[in-house]
Structure formats: C-alpha cells, structure tokens
Structure 1
Amino acid sequence: MQHPERELYELAEGELTGNVAAETYAHLRTCPACQATFERLTSLHARLTALPQLQPSPALAQAVHLRIRALPRPGARPHWRVAGLIFAVGLLALLPSLDVLLGLFDDSVHLPAFTDWSGWFVWLEQLSANVEATLVVGLCAVAVACILVVAQTLTTLQPQVR
C-alpha cells in the first residue's frame, strides 16, 4: 500500500470506516512517516474542533449577501443583439407577405370597401391563398426575438435580499 494521504485525513476526522479504515490502520502500524502525519492531523483536528463556533452578525451576513448579489452572473449574457438580429430577419421575412397583404409594391391587392360581411369573407379567402410561407417564418422569428428579450429581462432582475 502506498502512503494513503486522503485516507489519513478522513481517518483523523473520524469519517473513514469499514475495510478501508482497517487497511489504513494496518498501514499505520508499519509506516513511521504516516504515523507522524496521522498524529499531526489528529492533533490539528482536535484543536480545530475545540475552537468556539462563531456566528456572524445578521448585518454582516446581509452585507455579504448584497455584495454577492451585486456581482455579475457568469452565465448571463445579454441577448439584445441576437434578439435584434432575429427581429430584423423576421421583419425582412414578413416583407413579401406584407406586400401581398397590403399591396405595398404593386396594385394587385387593395383593401376593399365592402358594405357587408360576405364581401370581407370572400376577400380574406382570396387573400389567404396568396400569403406565402414567409409570413409564418417572419412571425416565428419576431416571436423568438420577443422571447429572447423577455428572457434577458427576467435574468437581469435582481431578487431582493431580506
């Protein structure tokens, strides 16, 4: 058996049991270097456990918690640029659909001035046949951008320390 350093620490603290403890005790009987280390560790453990237990004041604990909360979180990265890019792509994807819907670039589609509901339903049915898949892609991209903005806002909110 090599010098069982970790086991000596655990044995000195009373945390080692079973076969590993028996093997470590057997090694201690034959190794003067480990015996000396074990005696130092046992003495140190006894002195540390004899020290009085100190409790920080509530004001100190609160001050430490406030300082910790003020530190930037390592995993929180701003999503603003990504959200803006996705939003812009979504708007670009919506442009052809908006052209179809509102007739921005040609005169093929106009908002009719119907006087009854049946005319509106016919117009909407004709319009839905012309709307491209870019409408769906654009709306999805805009929705993802909005979700990223909301997620970033929620991660930057600091919970209050009481």
Structure 2
Amino acid sequence: MTDLIKVQHDDFNVAEQYQQLIQNNQQDGAVVFFVGLVRDFNQQQSIKSLTLEHYPAMTEKVLNLIVEQAREKWPLGRISVVHRVGTMQLGEQIVFVGVTSQHRQAAFEAGQFIMDILKTQAPFWKKEQTEQGSHWVDAKESDQTQAQTWLK
C-alpha cells in the first residue's frame, strides 16, 4: 500500500497522478479519481478567483487521518490526495483524490468519503474574489450533512 499526500502551490498533472496509482499495481482492478476545479459561480455570486490558505503541519496530519479512516472502512490499494493552496483562477485544478482497490465499489465509496470528509475537516480556508470584493467562505451545510452520513 502506497499513499501520496501533498499540499502544494503548483498545479498537478492528472495523467501523472493516474500513472502513480497504476504503475506496477497488478493487484487492483479499480481506479477512481476526482478532480475539483475552480468554478465561476458559488452561492449566488460570480467568482473571479479563489484563494486557499492552510496551516501546513495540521493540514497534512488531518489528510493522513482521513486516508487512514478510509483504509479502515474499505479494502484499498493506493491512495493519492493532492491539494493546492494559493490563488487559483477560474478553471484551474484545486484537488485530486485517487483511490485503487480490487473492486470498483470500494474505490468509488472511498474516493467520495475522502473528498466529503476533506471538505469539512481539513484545515483549509477559502476566500473567493468576486465583483463585489473578497470574502471568506464557510463550509456548506450540504457538505456537513454529507460528511455526517459517512461518520455514522
């Protein structure tokens, strides 16, 4: 089992992340990944750009704990979590979550679990730049509700 957890300013290459999940990995038959992008609209406002800040030591610790929780719930092979910080423009990549498993159901569920828990528990602070100015964004209630379904 190999986990890759990175928090970085630089963009990532999805094809390279995928290759790391499958290279010399003949035991897993399923690969699921998610890529989150900066979108142009959120909570009734047009977005110009997005800035993510974090507390480095704590963020990586929490991401590792989320991955450990996923491993306790599902039989998983490799896991990759790459999350960007800094200012990103519309359409830029924010996060990559990739999971391998012997079977697709575990890979799908674990990938969704990691993303849902990451959105609500990882210490990232999100600031949106809009036509009206900049503002910090709280976690959405729908994200909190979805995370709670996994933690029951």
Report the TM-score when normalising by structure 1: 0.22
Structure with greater proportional strand content: 2
Choose 1 or 2 for highest CA Rg: 1
